[in-house]
Chains A and B, each alone.
Chain A
Amino acid sequence: MTILFTVLAAALAVAIPALATAWAQSRIGPAIAASMAEKPELSTTAVLMIAIPETMVILGFVVAVLILFSKAA
């Protein structure tokens, strides 16, 4: 049972930030695409804006790894 909860916790640690990242990028993507149509020099900002929400899922992944490994130890 504990293993089930551990795995579930690890899965949620990735899934919830992944949904949050997807939602954030779905808002940022069209906005930055529209901005770049007007000002192509914003391409660097576009890269940064798209990459910033990915931090959530990356940190979620790290937390998931830590959950799984702490259990294994």
Chain B
Amino acid sequence: MIIEMSKVRILGPRDRLADVLRSLQDIGVLHLAPPGALPRLAPLQLSSSQERERRHLRDGLENVQRALGELGLTAGQGPSAGGAAPSPADLVRWVRLGWRVRRAAERLKARGAALEEERALILKYQHFFSAFRSLLESEARWPNATAYHVLLKSGDTETIRRLRTSLTALIGDEFQLYAQPLPSGETALLVVVSAQAAGRVERLLAEARVQEIPVPETYGGKSLTEAIPRMLLRLGEIPGEMQAVQRERDALAKSHGAELRRARAGLHDRLRELEALPLSGVTPHAFVLEGWVPADGRGDLEARLTATFGEDVAVSEISKEEWKSEEAPVVLSNPRLLRPFETLIRLMPLPHYGTIDPTPFVAVFFPAFFGLMMGDVGYGVVLAALGLVLHARSKPGTLLRNVSEIIGPCALFSIIAGLLYGELFGDLGTRWLGLKPILFSREEALIPFLLLAVALGAVHIVLGLGLGVASNIRRHPRAALGRGVSAVMIVLIVLALLAAVDVLPKSFFTPVVIALLVAFPVLIVLEGVVAPIELLSTLGNILSYARIMALGVASVMLAVVANRMVGAIGSVTVGILFALLFHLVNFAIALFSPTIHALRLHYVEFFGKFYSPGGVRYEPFGHWTRDTATPAP
């Protein structure tokens, strides 16, 4: 359900506004909103110094968050609400700390990256040197020759051939070309040419776009033979330097981590306070704050403000006639068992305040549809085990925990449906354990399964139309009546069909058709000329539930095919392995497809009949506790 909200107005002397806001931040229940139009009341504008402070704190917060990110400390929470408000000196100190630590952390990161890069470069040279050690060592004995070191991608033999041809065409036989494969799969090339031809060869290499490895100047020397020993020495030093960088980073995190987290929470709080100021209305001597609070928390808010400010501050409830329900923030509140399913509702925009929270209906129908599609005792048990593992490995209140708690009922419904269909890993239960279907076998009874799916669709859609009536009856009575007539017509159409196929007595048919003929013009009067199209679309929505049957049949057929692999392939062991693999694939499909389609049946078919999206999220003005609460720029 959507919990009831009260809109309150807080009045007080203007010089107490900052104190009241601080107190409200400590209480943390009021969702602030700009005050309504009142005589001589103007919205409070931030002064230029407050604007400056806001910009300054924003930059400071950015630095603190980047510093925490660089030091791997982003996951920490803020201090608990109710702590002493940070002093201006604290804010200044935190801004400076953020800038200083961010700079130091980024410098260390850059140093680490440079060391990594240097190590990779030296390793590349080391491989090259190992490949041509003897030749390179004799490089000094080539006084009138120039050596070029080239690296080619693996398998690039065509380039070697083309290079050799081009060099012959360019300088005849005044060159030597050596090729060696490297452990990395690349090919090292050493090209030695006469000093006179060096210029032309350089141009040729540039035009051929081959990756030449020049002797790096950092390590001195003109040849690789001179540079390599220095590089190898450096290679030995790099791990030590990298460890020193890591130690320095750890020390930085240890010495400033806690203070940076305090800074993050403190800066967030002060920024929220500054951003709350323009939500107040002021006269020369008074202020007005308005906002929503859960109805059962209003008394507590009033008592705490009175206890702190006495008669200086007055809190009053604004009557419901003075505000529109669309403006009120929405808080979903459901019993513990149903609460995980709020996750599925939150994937959509929240419902408007004053409309219906569909969580209880989703909690019943989602696992039921999922179970009917998966419908296998074996898969249900595996799914339950998966849910238990997820539950054990997740923390309360996290998305993973909610998912694990949704998996539970889905697995239960799958097992129940599996018993009704007589399925345990497809037809394995029937063949090995003599499991018999209680309701029908999905392999054979396709038409009964189709009828069951469509009947469920009719029930679900009629329920949706009923909820549409309940949701709109006060605000849009005409639309509510239209939904009601649609629901009645759907029921009449179903009755007429049942009478036509002799499920109901034939005598039902004529009165039901007459009732339909009467209801149809009423529907057109209530909903206009689009009513027939809407009605057809609703019938289409009911047929859409046939997907429960289609996916269910596909699931059991794949399971049966998996079981038949044992006999179909020569070796029993290979057959069993194939069957297990196929069951695994089928389980993955049976997990994914029913979820998507059960969601779709809810979001498109069911919600379309009553759900009114666009509700405002309840965000009480309080202390910062986690990273999602970053104020908008």
Contacts and interface: CB of A to CB of B under 8 A. Distances in A.
B603 A48 contact: yes
A51 B446 contact: no
A73 B553 CA distance: 20
With most chain B CB atoms within 10 A of its CB, the pick from A43, A48, A62, A69 is A62
A59 B604 CA distance: 16
Contacts of A44: 347-348, 603
Interface string A37-52: 0000001100110111
Given A43-B347, A50-B596, A65-B446, A58 B546 contact: yes
Contact of A62 (B348, B550, B597, B603): B550
Interface string B539-570: 00001101101110100000000000000000
Interface residues of A, number: 16
Interface string A50-73: 111011001101100110010000
B447 A59 contact: no
A70 to B, nearest CB: 10
A69 B544 CA distance: 20
Interface residues of B, number: 19
B450 interface: yes
B171 interface: no
B347 A55 contact: no
Contacts of A59: 543, 546
Contact of A58 (B347, B447, B550, B603): B550
Interface string B315-358: 00000000000000000000000000000000110000000000
Contact of B600 (A52, A62, A66, A69): A52
A17 to B, nearest CB: 11
Contacts of B600: 47-48, 51-52
A47 B601 CA distance: 12
B599 interface: yes
Given A52-B604, A62-B450, A69-B447, A47 B546 contact: no
Interface in B346-376: 347-348
With most chain B CB atoms within 10 A of its CB, the pick from A44, A50, A69 is A44
Nearest to A69: B447
Given A65-B446, A65-B450, A51 B596 contact: yes
Contacts of A50: 596
B365 to A, nearest CB: 16
A19 B599 CA distance: 24
Nearest to A50: B596
Contact of A61 (B348, B447, B550, B599): B550
Given A58-B550, A59-B543, A62-B550, A47 B596 contact: yes
Nearest to A51: B600
Nearest to B449: A65
A62 B604 contact: no
A51 B546 contact: no
A55 B600 CA distance: 10
A1 to B, nearest CB: 25
A54 B601 CA distance: 12
A51 B544 CA distance: 12
Interface string B564-579: 0000000000000000
Contacts of B596: 47, 50-51
Nearest to A55: B544
A69 B447 CA distance: 8
With most chain B CB atoms within 10 A of its CB, the pick from A43, A51, A52 is A51
Contact of B547 (A55, A65, A66): A55
A12 B596 CA distance: 26
Contacts of A62: 450, 546, 549-550
A47 B547 contact: no
Contacts of A55: 544, 547
Nearest to A62: B546
B450 A58 contact: no
A69 B450 CA distance: 12
Contact of A47 (B447, B543, B599): B599
A41 to B, nearest CB: 9
A13 to B, nearest CB: 12
A61 B596 CA distance: 18
A55 B450 CA distance: 15
B597 A51 contact: yes
Nearest to B349: A44
Interface of A: 43-44, 47-48, 50-52, 54-55, 58-59, 61-62, 65-66, 69
The 10 A-B residue pairs whose C-beta atoms are closest, nearest first, are A51-B600, A44-B347, A58-B550, A58-B547, A62-B546, A61-B550, A65-B446, A51-B596, A48-B603, A47-B596
13 contacts: A48-B599, A51-B596, A51-B599, A52-B604, A54-B547, A55-B544, A58-B550, A65-B446, A65-B447, A65-B450, A65-B553, A66-B447, A69-B447
